[in-house]
Amino acid sequence: MYRRVSILMRKHFVSVLVLCVAMIASMSVQAADPGKGKALFQQNCASCHNVHKKVTGPALKGVEERWSDKKLLHQWIHNSGSVIASGDPYAVNLFNEYSKQAMPAFPSFSDEDIDNILAYIADEATKGGATTTTDAGGQTGAGTTGAGEEGGNNSLLFGIITLILAVVALILMQINSSLNKLAADKDGVATPEPVPFYKNKAYIALVILLLFIVGGYYTINGAIGLGRQKDYMPEQPIFYSHKVHAGINQINCLYCHAGAEKSKHAMIPSENICMNCHKTISEYSGKYELFTAEGKKVNGTAEIQKLYDAVGWDKNSQKYTKPGKPIEWTKIHNLPDHVYFNHSQHVVAGKQQCQTCHGAITKMDEVHQFAELSMGWCVNCHRTTKVQFADNKYYSIFEEFHKQVKEGKIDSVTVEMVGGTECQKCHY
């Protein structure tokens, strides 16, 4: 079950992150409207719509052209039911085409919001979408791979050079002692028969000491690593690709892992969440081909069928025909019982991105454990991460820090400074 994936993934994570940040930054510079629209789109629309592809709902590229009247489109988004009721032929067709699944109403959107979303869609449509992102990802991946291999070669090289130098030094020392002996012989000074180096007690002691240090180092490191599961990538009952869902189709993480905002558990989504979309998406028709870590090709449609088998859905009759069974996923991120970890604290109060701890999840087909999840890893982050000191009024009680910030003595407050590295913040 324990399959190692390329450690390189995490090595080029930083560069990917930089790239993402750069992309987001460039986007927000381009235009204000699509920027706002993107946020709205991802929160509200992305779970059913993609700009370029038909998913639960239609592909939205060119949506404005398809509707005869922009007003009607606005009305559709506000409350699709009312448009269908009005008998607009396009709307009725659309409704029927998507097996009479009405789009949820969004009465809270202002017209400006909708325009922002439409602007984002138009913007995305011109970019060409997912293909470019994957390409970019692939390229950066390749780039860092090279760098990573070089790093490996270097240490080997250094090792070899050290070894050669050591042998040379040994030979030189032997020569030196031989010459000394010759010199002494020449001078007629009697010297004892030289001891071969492998019988020399000084050498033996040195080697034993070295072995002890090196062996101890690896033993201790190995012992510390016991029970840690970094890069753990078990085979799951269903080949669920985060890359396809969260990456290519850009479904918001919180759509499925809703607990991350509310609870200590992020929550493995219940099957009814899967079925929100998969009632209509019964086959995998993406251009991106799925492979297991071993390189075996995966049939996406067959994997969706496994979900249907579990929940008892018959895709032909579009009905639940059998009682559902839960899917037994293999848990990847395991914390010991004596650790209290709360997702909502990190996501809501700490405003952390999922990727900080889970890695480039949008690029993983099969998820592996990105971070070490060791105490040292937690604590190091708590030492450097800044809390939302100015924005979150909870921290108003730390008057002294506020004063120091004002006086310019400190520029920010880290988690550690408000007690985030104390035992009983996580162990109770």
Partner 1 sequence: MEQKKYWKGLEELHNTKEHQEIVNNEFREDLPFEESESLLNATTPRRDFLKYLGFTTAAATIAASCETPVKKAIPYVNKPEEITPGVPNYYASTYAVDGEVLPVVVKTREGRPIKVDGNDLSSVTGSASTARVQGSVLSLYDSARLRFPTINGAETTWAELDKQVAAALAGLGSAPIVLLTSTIVSPSTKKVIAGFQAKYPGFRHVTYDAVSYSGMLLANEASYGKRALPVYHFENAKTVVSLGADFLGTWLNPVEYSKQYGTNRKIDAKKPEMSKHFHFESMMSVTGANADERYTHKPSETGAIALALLSAVGGAVSKPAIADKRLADGIEKAAKALRDSQGKALVVSGSNDVNVQIIVNAINNQIGANGNTIDWASTVSYRQGIDSDMAQLVNDLNAGSVGALFVYGVNPAYDYYDAAKFISGVKQAKLTVTFNDRKDETSELFKYAAPAHHYLESWGDVEGRTGYFSFIQPTIAPLFKTRAFESTLLAWSGNATSWEDFLKNEWITKLGSQEAWDKALQDGIIEPAQAPALGGASFAGDVAAAAAKINSAKKGGKLELVLYEKVAIGNGKEANNPWLQEMPDPITRATWDNYAVISNTLAKTFHTELGDDYEINNDRTVLKIKANGKELSLPLLILPGIHPEVVAIAVGYGRNNNAGKAAAGVGKNAYPFVSYNGQTFDYFAPEATVEKTSEVAQIGVTQTHNSYEGRPIVKETTLEEFLKNPKEVNEDRKELEKYGKDFRTDGTLYPDIHHYQGIKWGMSIDLNTCFGCGACTIACQAENNVSVVGKEQVIKAHEMHWLRIDRYFSGDENNPEVVFQPMLCQHCDNAPCENVCPVAATNHSSEGINQMAYNRCIGTRYCANNCPYKVRRFNWRDWNGADSFENNLYDVAGMNDSLTRMVLNPDVVVRSRGVMEKCSFCVQRLQDAKLTAKKAGRPMKDGEAKTACQVACAADAIVFGNINDKESRIAKLRNEEQTDRLYYVLEETHTLPSVNYLAKIRNKAAEPKAKAHGEEAHHEEAAKHEA
Q: Give residues in contact with partner 1 (CB under 8 A).
A: 1-2, 226-227, 229, 234, 258-259, 262-265, 267-273, 310-311, 324-331, 334, 336-338, 340, 342, 344-345, 348-349, 391-394, 396-401, 418-419, 422-425, 427-428
Taking the least distance from each CB to partner 1, the nearer of 117 and 413 is 413
Judged by CB, which is closer to partner 1: 217, or 340?
A: 340
Specify the residue, 42 or 342, whose C-beta has the smaller distance to partner 1.
342
CB 255 → partner 1: shortest distance, Å? 14
Measure CA of the first residue to CA of the last residue in the chain; give whole Å.
Answer: 32
Q: How far is the CB of 331 from partner 1 (least distance, A)?
A: 4
Tokens 């996501």 correspond to what residue?
347
Among residues 71 and 427, whose Cβ is nearest to partner 1? 427
Name residues whose C-beta falls within 8 Å of residue 403's C-beta, 6 or more positions apart in sequence.
Answer: none
Minimum CB separation of residue 397 from partner 1 in Å reads: 5
Q: Specify burial of residue 60 (Cβ count, 10 A radius: 0-12, 13-18, 19+).
A: buried
Nearer to partner 1, 84 or 418 (CB): 418
Q: Smaller CB distance to partner 1: residue 66 or 351?
A: 351
Task: Determine the 3-state secondary structure of 414 from DSSP.
Answer: strand
Q: In whole angstroms, how close is the CB of 360 to partner 1 at the nearest point?
A: 21
Question: What residue spans of 281-320 are helical by DSSP H?
Answer: 300-311
Three-state DSSP state, 337: coil
**293 half-sphere exposure, CB direction, 13 A CA radius:** 18
Evaluate the CA torsion angle 388, 393, 396, 397 in order and state its sign: negative
Nearer to partner 1 by Cβ, of 203 and 377: the residue is: 377
Supply the minimum distance, in Å, between the C-beta of residue 305 and partner 1: 17
Structure tokens at 194: 């030289």
Closest approach of Cβ 377 to partner 1, in Å? 17
Choice between 113 and 372, CB closer to partner 1: 372
Q: Compute the distance between CA of residue 158 and CA of residue 187 in angstroms, rounded to an integer.
A: 42
C-alpha dihedral (252, 254, 257, 259), degrees to nearest 10: 180
- If you count them, how many residues does the chain have? 428
Cβ at position 227, least distance to partner 1 in Å: 6
**Minimum gap (Å) between residue 213 Cβ and partner 1:** 21
Taking a C-beta distance cutoff of 8 angstroms, is the pair 401, 410 a contact? yes
Which residues touch 4 (CB under 8 Å, ≥6 apart)?
231, 233
Of 175 and 335, the one with the shorter C-beta distance to partner 1 is 335
Dihedrals phi, psi of 319, to nearest 5 degrees: -145, 155
Query: Which C-beta is closer to partner 1: that of 295 or that of 336?
Result: 336
What are the two backbone dihedrals, phi and then psi, of residue 180, each rounded to the nearest 5 degrees? -55, -45
Per the CB < 8 A criterion, the answer to whether 323 and 317 are in contact is no
Least distance from partner 1 to the Cβ atom of residue 285, Å: 26
DSSP helix/strand/coil, 381: helix
Sign of the CA dihedral with 72 first, then 74, 78, and 80 last: positive
Question: What is the smallest separation between the CB atom of 2 and partner 1, expressed in angstroms?
Answer: 8
Phi, psi for 414 (deg, rounded to 5)? -90, 170
